[in-house]
């Protein structure tokens, strides 16, 4: 008897795209004309078969092809038996079915393309589902302008010179100077907010920031020039958050998945959040960029040095 299809759960009881007739017709056609396998194997891979039994049969055919052996019902049965999969795929009854399902091997490439396209559709659905389930974090950046870089001024009477960088348990969380190396006396501090502190970013939050900052740099509240620029991704209607922020269990299960090529290597991903080692950091961006370059250049076997 034939094995049961492996069904992936989708919302509303829907079944992922597949075509079992194309899968059976392809396998049966190869039994009729094993010479056609050389063309088929360039189009479809074993893991692209929807039904597990069909995948196992195709794996057996691939193994025979790789060893330069003929592909027919006898050799396929022997290979499946050697792999311990003959009974699992349905035994003699299933092989008999494949052997009789198509009268000609003329359309095998067409069947292979159907299987490949259905597999691609399933992978796109899976990717979209994974993206929808990801956790997303909140963060906002507010750049404040000051008439002078008070954090460097001796009149601030700080214990030591400051470059404007703060990491504190105050609600302002952290700041850094964005005007380093720029000419003139005026300066800019960037306030980075995360979590609940990143929303809402409103006028009340702006006023509190000046009060909190004045506790760190006494006298700076009077140096604010009234200019500010707000970057608040959670409030932008086309984004779900500032960054991906994996929920419990997602970091280990999704580690490096965001950097895996798609479309048979034709779609390459890079960026700090595709790095498994330095996710969210600039060295992760460099590392993933080098990896992506290597994947693009892979046909030429050109080595690209890894990021330090």
Query: Which spans in 33-66 are helix H?
Result: 37-40, 52-66
Q: Where is mean pLDDT largest: 98-102, 152-156, 165-169, 243-247?
A: 165-169
Contact between residue 270 and residue 259 where contact means Cβ atoms under 8 Å apart: yes
Q: Is the pLDDT of residue 304 over 70?
A: no
Q: Do both 36 and 119 map to the same domain?
A: yes
Give the strands of the sheet with 139-146, arranged side by side: 166-167, 174-177, 187-194, 139-146, 224-232
Q: Is the pLDDT of residue 240 over 60?
A: yes
Q: What pTM was estimated for this model as a whole?
A: 0.59
Task: Decide which of 215, 235, 255 is a domain's last residue.
Answer: 235
Q: Is the pLDDT of residue 197 over 70?
A: yes
Average pLDDT over all residues of the chain: 85
Q: Where is mean pLDDT largest: 56-60, 163-167, 279-283?
A: 56-60
Q: Per-residue pLDDT averaged across 5-27, rounded?
A: 76
pLDDT band at residue 4, thresholds of 50, 70 and 90? Answer: very low
Number of domains in the chain: 3
More confidently predicted of 100 and 76: 76
User: What local confidence, expressed as pLDDT, does residue 100 receive?
Assistant: 85
pLDDT band at residue 7, thresholds of 50, 70 and 90? Answer: very low
Q: Which residue has the tokens 């909190």?
A: 212
More confidently predicted of 119 and 100: 119
Q: Do both 120 and 142 map to the same domain?
A: no
Terminal CA-CA length for the chain: 57
Q: Is the pLDDT of residue 289 over 70?
A: yes
Neighbouring C-beta atoms of residue 166, cutoff 10 Å: 20
CATH of the domain at 271: 1.10.10
Q: Do both 71 and 149 map to the same domain?
A: no
53: in domain: yes
User: What local confidence, expressed as pLDDT, does residue 305 receive?
Assistant: 54
User: What local confidence, expressed as pLDDT, does residue 3 receive?
Assistant: 43
More confidently predicted of 270 and 126: 270
CATH of the domain at 64: 1.10.860.10
Q: Which residue has the tokens 């008070």?
A: 150
Q: Do both 149 and 218 map to the same domain?
A: yes
pLDDT band at residue 110, thresholds of 50, 70 and 90? Answer: very high
Q: pLDDT above 90 covers what percent of the chain?
A: 50
How far is 123 from 75, CA to CA, in rounded Å? 32
94: in domain: yes
305: in domain: no
37: in domain: yes
Q: Do both 128 and 147 map to the same domain?
A: no
Domain that holds residue 96: 11-132
Task: Decide which of 76, 101, 132 is a domain's last residue.
Answer: 132
pLDDT band at residue 274, thresholds of 50, 70 and 90? Answer: confident
Encode burial over 61-71: b for 16+ CB neighbours within 10 A, e otherwise.
bbbbbeeeeeb
pLDDT band at residue 49, thresholds of 50, 70 and 90? Answer: very high
């Amino acid at each position: 008897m034939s094995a049961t299809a492996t069904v992936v759960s989708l919302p509303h009881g829907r079944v992922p795209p597949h075509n079992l007739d194309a899968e059976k017709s392809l396998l049966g056609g190869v039994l009729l004309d094993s010479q056609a396998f050389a063309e088929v194997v360039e189009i479809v891979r074993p893991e692209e078969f929807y039904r597990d039994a069909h995948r196992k049969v195709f794996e057996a055919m691939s193994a025979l092809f790789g060893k330069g052996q003929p592909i027919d019902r006898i050799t396929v049965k022997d290979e499946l038996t050697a792999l311990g999969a003959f009974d699992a795929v349905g035994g003699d009854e299933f092989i008999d079915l494949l052997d009789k399902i198509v009268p000609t091997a003329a359309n095998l490439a067409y069947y292979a393309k159907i299987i490949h396209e259905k597999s691609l559709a399933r992978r796109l659905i899976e990717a979209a589902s994974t993206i929808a389930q990801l956790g997303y974090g909140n963060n906002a950046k507010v750049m404040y302008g000051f008439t002078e870089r008070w954090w460097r001024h001796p009149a601030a009477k700080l214990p030591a010179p400051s470059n404007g960088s703060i990491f504190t348990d105050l609600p302002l969380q952290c700041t850094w100077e964005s005007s380093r190396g720029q000419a003139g006396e005026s300066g800019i501090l960037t306030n980075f907010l995360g979590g609940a502190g990143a929303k809402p970013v409103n006028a009340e939050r702006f006023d509190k920031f000046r009060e909190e900052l004045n506790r760190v740099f006494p006298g700076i509240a009077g140096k604010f020039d009234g200019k500010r620029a707000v970057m608040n991704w959670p409030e932008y209607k086309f984004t779900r958050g500032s960054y991906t922020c994996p929920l419990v269990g997602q970091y280990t299960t999704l580690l490096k998945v965001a950097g895996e090529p798609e479309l048979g290597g034709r779609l390459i991903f890079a960026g700090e959040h595709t790095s498994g080692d330095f996710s969210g950091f600039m060295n992760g961006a460099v590392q993933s960029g080098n990896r992506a370059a290597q994947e693009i250049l892979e046909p030429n076997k050109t080595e690209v040095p890894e990021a330090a």
